Every structure is written in structure tokens, then in C-alpha cells.
Amino acid sequence: MNTRTPHSTHTRIALALCAALGLGALTPTEAAERIALVVKNLGNGYFEAANKGGQEAAREIGGVELVMTGPTQPTAEGQIEIINSLIAQKFDAIIVMANDPDALVPVTKKAMQRGIKVISADSAIAPEGRILHLSPSNAQLVGEKLIAMIGKTIGGSGEIAVLSATAQATNQNAWIEWMKRTLAKPEYATLKLDAVVYGDDQSDKSYREANGLLATYPNLKGIIAPTTVGITAASRAVVDKGLVGKVFVSGLGLPSEMAGHVKSGAVDAFALWNPIDVGYSATWIAHRLVKGEASGKPGEEIDAGRMGRIKVGDKGDAAMAEPFTFDKTNVDEFARIF
Amino acid sequence: MLNDVKTDTPRYTVADRAPRSFRALCLRWETLLALLLLATVFVNSTLSPFFLDPYNLADSTFNFSEKALLALGLTLIICAGEIDISVAAIMALASVCMGLLSLAGFGTPVLVLAGLAVGLACGALNGFIVTGFGVPSVVVTIGTLSLFRGLTNVILGDGAITQYPAGFGELGQGYVFGIIPIEFIVFLVLAAAFAFGLHRTRFGRNLYAIGNNAIAARYAGIPVQRYRMALFMLSGLMAGLAAVLLTSRVGSTRPNIASGWELEAITMVVLGGVSINGGSGSVGGVVLAILLLGMVTFGMSLLNVPGIIMTIFTGLLLIGAIAAPILIARVSGQRRRV
């Protein structure tokens, strides 16, 4: 950490100028440790939420100043410019939600050479450009969560189907694979997977595929759509067919898009990463790295406050937690965020 | 001032230039820019303890060197009363071509030559349409902007090219004497060359003549169309060079690379005192404007001012720069110096 001499006159001039420019809130305060959160672009509720979580962690830790910054447009060039200025300011750690996994590598490498701890969160930087990457979740946790959610909604037994994106979608296929493995466990023996269909992440095709499922399987009790397009289309199909209360839709969706369907009753619970938790955990991890309480090596478990211990996996990939559940108790609150 | 020249000079003496007076020097646009630059440096070093650090200042030039190269090419184009909006799109296309050659296994020299050649070819296409069909350059380059950016999108889709040869990154990331970025040296050398070309050669005088009145210039025996062709090719070549440096710096090519840079480069030129109507301006003014914008942005980024506020500030600076001479002229009752 750099030592900073008190410069009261300068500070007073700075404060006056900042106040004149209306930038009072942005004046750097004298914190022992400074962590930057570089988001994809400013003015996006998702990243504001991540910052909220980061600030919560900074308060818990104490003596940490967390600064959120990001370019106006979600470009790698904009983020590089910002990371350069963070290096110049000798920040202790930088958390990046990367716009480009490769283009940021040269500048984050430079940051690490100068002793700054760099991690990526949510959207990764390539392995050589960061100490570790914090994924909001991983395929296994998503697959297990999706099955657990629908199981709880339909009372643990019955027929279900999956409405996915495209047949080649890497993420969705990994999640479906883990759903199938989860269904093979004895506690889910009473859940039966009828079919997996593909809506190609297009509203109209997803809607038609959902209608097809409802027509083909009269005993269907649940549809899992692990895609934001699919889950809204399936919910609309259930409402339009008058099957609310008989068939429940679940999956991964955005609270802002799903709030209406939760109210209509077509959806009981759905999930997604909670950006607040991502910002919170990333800040804790960055702090642990700065203090030398963690190194980020594969296999290590890093204590991240209320999120518990987060394990660093192969290639420095750390999965935070299972997706966060949204239902009628909290969907309105999160709908305002993203 | 023009009146003074007339009354003070004997009738049959034609002065080559207005007499050098202290008052005229003070009213020069470049003087105002230099004062603004000094003020910016003073305010920045007062506000941030990290500003007056030679390494930080040298590193901050990475953020504007490539855009500055675009601005140099545009300075000549705008002086001649034309415009080239396609420069950033040319960069994208040049970058993609370099990426494709890199994937095919070619080394750094071929990539550099290819980037320059693609830039030159794109500029030649602009020049050919402008001179061959007599279409206004603003229309032509809006069209080719979409064409070049569109081609980039078609070739890359939503993918990226990230495999570049090992030594390639040195051009955009390397330093001279371990402190000054190579990019910045390239810019300084070319700025000197452009200043010489515009202010000390017949070519430069003819450009001003074309910018003031192309028809009169043609009657004076200046090959206007050939000049225009050369200018667009030069602008394209500068875009190609900027593409080489940017691609080398970030080590990857994406369809949105350098998006929006054409406007930032035009901002530099106009703030530098080049009349958007053509016929007046100096390379020195543009260089000062580039440094001014660079230092203002760097200073604000050191205070972690959000990018949105930075763009507002830059916009105000530009409007002020255009309005100030008009207002001053109105107040003092004088015509604006041409």
C-alpha cells in the first residue's frame, strides 16, 4: 500500500473544486485498502446491484473503499482505459466484469506485474490475465437447483419437460445434462422427464414448442425453461391455455420479465444469479487476496463472509453458489434491479 | 486586424502574412488551447496525487494515441473541406484482415503491411467514389462506414480472433527507453511530418486553397480531384496504422472494435481549431487539442469520474470551443480571424 502524506491545503482545494463540479461524492477518501469494481458499462441495474453487494462487503470488512467504475459503452477499449487509470492510482485490487476475455489480458497482466490483485467476476478474463474467476454458479449447481425448484413446486412427483434454447447451446446442454444426472438420484425417482424440446431462443418458436408440450403430454405438471426467452414463452402458453395451477413453469429468468407471470400463477419460483451476491463475494475474495489470506490456487477454499467458503476449481474458476430463487416474496424488489 | 493591415501598408506592397504582433499571438486559438492545457495539468495535479507521475503520464498516452492518428488524417481532409466518417470502420476491417492472416499463420511484418494496405485500399475506395461520381464525401463515407463495419460483422459474426503471433503485441504495448509508449512516438513523429506538410509545403498551401474555394483552386491550376483522392487514401492509411497499433495493443479483434472513434477523432480536430467548413486550421492546434482532451479524460479517470459525466464534459468543451471565438468576435466587434 502506498503511503500518503496529509496534504490539507490540497485536499481543501480539491474538495472545493469537486464541490464546484458537483463531484463531491467522488473525492477519494483515505481508506487503508482500495478495491475497484470495473463493470461492463454504466447505467445498468445489474451492475448497480453488484456494486450494492460490494459496498455491503466493504462495510463488513471495514477499512476498505470499493469504487465502482466502467465505460459508457460496453467495449473492451473503454475498460482498458479505465484499468490503466486504476493502475496509475495504485489500487490494491481490481474486480473486472470483462467485455472481452482476451483484449483485457495485456492490461490486467501489467496490473498484476505492479502488484495489483486482479480477479474477474460474472464475465471472465482469460486465465493468464487474472488470479481467479468468480462464476455466479456452475453447471452442476444450476442443474440441481432447477430440479429441486420444480420438485418443490409440484410436490415432489409428476411429469416434467424441458424447453431449452438451441440444440447446440453449450450452457443449456451442460445444465440439462446435470438435470438428468440429478433426476437419476433416488430422491427424485418420482419425477419423470417426458421430453426436451428446443425453442431456439425465439419467442414465437418457444411459444409453439411449449404449446406442443402441453398438447402432447396431458399429465404434464412442470416445464423447466433454462433460458430467459423460453421461460416467458412457456409462461404465456400456460396462461393462454388456461392451465394455470395445473402446469407450473420454472427455470432461469429475469425478475423484471417474470414478475407478471409470478403474479398470474403460471410461475411459482424461478432462479438466476443474484448480482448483489456476486459483487459481495468478489469484494471479499479480492480483500482476502490483498491481505494474503488467500492465493487463488486451484483447490483452495476462500471465506467470503455470508456466502460461506467458495472453492477455487480447475483453471482458477470459482463457482459462487447455486442460483438465487425468486418467488412472489421477492420478485418485485428484484424486478426494479434487472 | 485585416483593416489594420490595409491602412498601415503602402498601397502597392502586398504582405505575405499579417505582421506578427503580441496581441495577435494572444488571440491565436493555439494560445488559448495551450493555456487550457496548462490549467488542466494544474487542476489535475492538485486533485490527484497520481497525476504528475512520469510513468502514469506516459501510460495515459495509450488511451488516445490511436485516435490521434485518425485525427491527423482527418485534419487534412477537413482543411480541404471534406470529411471522412468511415475511419473507425476502416480500422475494424483492417483489424479483421490482419486477424485472418494471423490465423493463416503469417508473421508480424505481413500483418502490419496487410493492415496498412487494407486501410489504403478502403481510403482509395472512398476517394474513388467521391471524385469519380461527384458525391459529397459525407454521404459516401456514411455509406462506406456501414459497408466496412458490415463486412467485419459478416466475417466475425459474434466471434473474435485472438491468436496473434508472439512478437506482434510489442508494437502497441511496447515502450521506448522503458517509459514512452511506441505508439506515442509514432504519433509525435507523424504529427511533425503532417505539420511540415501542411504548413511548409506547396501541397499544404494548395489544401487550404481547395478548402476555401475548390472552384477557384481549380482555376488556379490545382488538380483538386487528385488532391482529394490523395487525402482519402492518406486518411485510410492512417486508419490502417491505427488499426495495426490498436490490434497489437489489445491482442484481439471483435466486430465492435474502435466503435464510435470517428466522432472522437473529429472532436479532436474541431477542438483543435480546424474550421469544419474547411480552409483553416493548424496541425499544432490539433496536437494541443489531442493532449488537452487526453489530459482532461485522464485526470477525470484518476478521480473515477463516471464515463457518462466525462462525455458530457467533453461535449461542453467542444461546444465552448466552437462558440467562444464567435462570442468573442461579437463582443469585440471584430470578424473572426480566418
* CA pair distance B202, A23, nearest whole angstrom: 49
CA distance B29 to B22: 14
Query: How confident is the model over A329-334, as a mean pLDDT?
Result: 90
Cβ atoms A192, A220 nearer than 8 A = no
Give me the residue spans of the domains in chain B. 21-332
Examine the pLDDT at A21 and tell me if it is beyond 60: no
pLDDT (tens digit, 9 = 90+) per residue, B222-249?
999 999 999 999 999 999 999 999 999 9
Continuous segment of H or E residues that includes residue A64: strand A64-69
* pLDDT value at residue A313: 87
Residue A190 dihedral angles phi and psi, to the nearest 5°: -85, -5
Identify the closest residue of chain A to B250 by CA–CA distance.
A103
**3-state DSSP call for residue B176?**
strand
Q: What is the mean pLDDT of residues A296-321?
A: 89
Residues 6+ apart with CB under 8 A from B154: none
Residue A6: pLDDT band with limits 50, 70, 90: very low
Measured CB to CB, residues of chain A less than 8 Å from chain B are: 4, 7, 10, 13-14, 17-18, 23, 26-28, 36, 42-43, 67, 69-73, 75-78, 80-82, 84-85, 87-90, 100, 102-106
Helical ranges in A190-264 per DSSP H: 203-216, 228-240, 255-264
Distance from CA of A104 to the nearest CA of B (A): 7
Residue B26 has pLDDT above 50, yes or no: yes
- Indicate whether A22 pLDDT > 70: no
**Residue B258's closest chain A neighbor by CA?**
A77
What is the SS3 assignment for A70? coil
What is the rounded CA–CA span in Å between residue A267 and residue A248?
6
ipTM of the complex: 0.75
**From A14, A36, A106, residue closest to B250, measured CB to CB:** A106
- In tens, the pLDDT along A72-110 reads 888 888 899 999 999 999 999 999 999 888 889 999 999
Q: How confident is the model at residue B203 (pLDDT cuts 50, 70, 90)?
A: very high
Q: Which CATH class is domain B21-332?
A: mainly alpha
CATH T-level fold of A139-272: Rossmann fold (3.40.50)
Q: Residue B23 pLDDT > 90, yes or no?
A: no
- The reply to whether residue A18 touches residue B304, judged by beta carbons under 8 angstroms, is no
Q: Which of A132-141, B18-27, B220-229 has the lowest mean pLDDT?
A: B18-27
For the sheet with A248-251, list strands across it.
A191-198, A158-164, A220-225, A248-251
Yes or no, beta carbons of B302 and A80 under 8 Å apart: no
Residue A179: all three cell numbers together: 438435470
CA angle A12, A16, A18 (to 5 degrees): 115
Cβ atoms B309, B262 nearer than 8 A = no
Which amino acid type is present at position B66? E
Q: What is the pLDDT of residue B150?
A: 95
Alpha-carbon span A165 to A230, nearest angstrom? 7
Contact B305 A26 (CB under 8 A): yes
DSSP β-bridge partners for residue A282? none
Topology of the domain comprising A8-135+275-319 = Rossmann fold (3.40.50)
Q: B176 phi and psi, to 5 degrees? A: -100, 135
DSSP letter assigned to residue B153: H
* Three-class secondary structure of residue B216 per DSSP: helix
Side chain identity at A110, as an amino acid letter? K
Listed range (A299-303, A323-327, B140-144, B156-160) with the worst mean pLDDT? B156-160
Are the C-beta atoms of A144 and A259 separated by less than 8 Å? no
Q: Answer positive or negative: Cα dihedral of A175, A181, A184, A188.
A: negative
The verdict on a CB contact (< 8 Å) between B307 and A72 is yes
Tell me, yes or no, if the two domains A8-135+275-319 and A139-272 fold the same way. yes
Using alpha carbons, select from B186, B188, B191, B184 the residue that is nearest to residue B73.
B191
* Shortest CA distance from A15: residue in chain B: B47
Q: Tell which B residues from 121 to 140 touch A, by Cβ distance under 8 Å.
A: none
Which chain A residue has its CA at the smallest distance from B259's CA? A75
In this prediction, residue B314 carries a pLDDT of 83
Question: Residue A63's closest CA among A34, A37, A21, A87?
Answer: A34
pLDDT band at residue A31 using 50, 70 and 90 as cut-offs: low
- For the cut 90, the answer to whether the pLDDT of residue B317 exceeds it is no
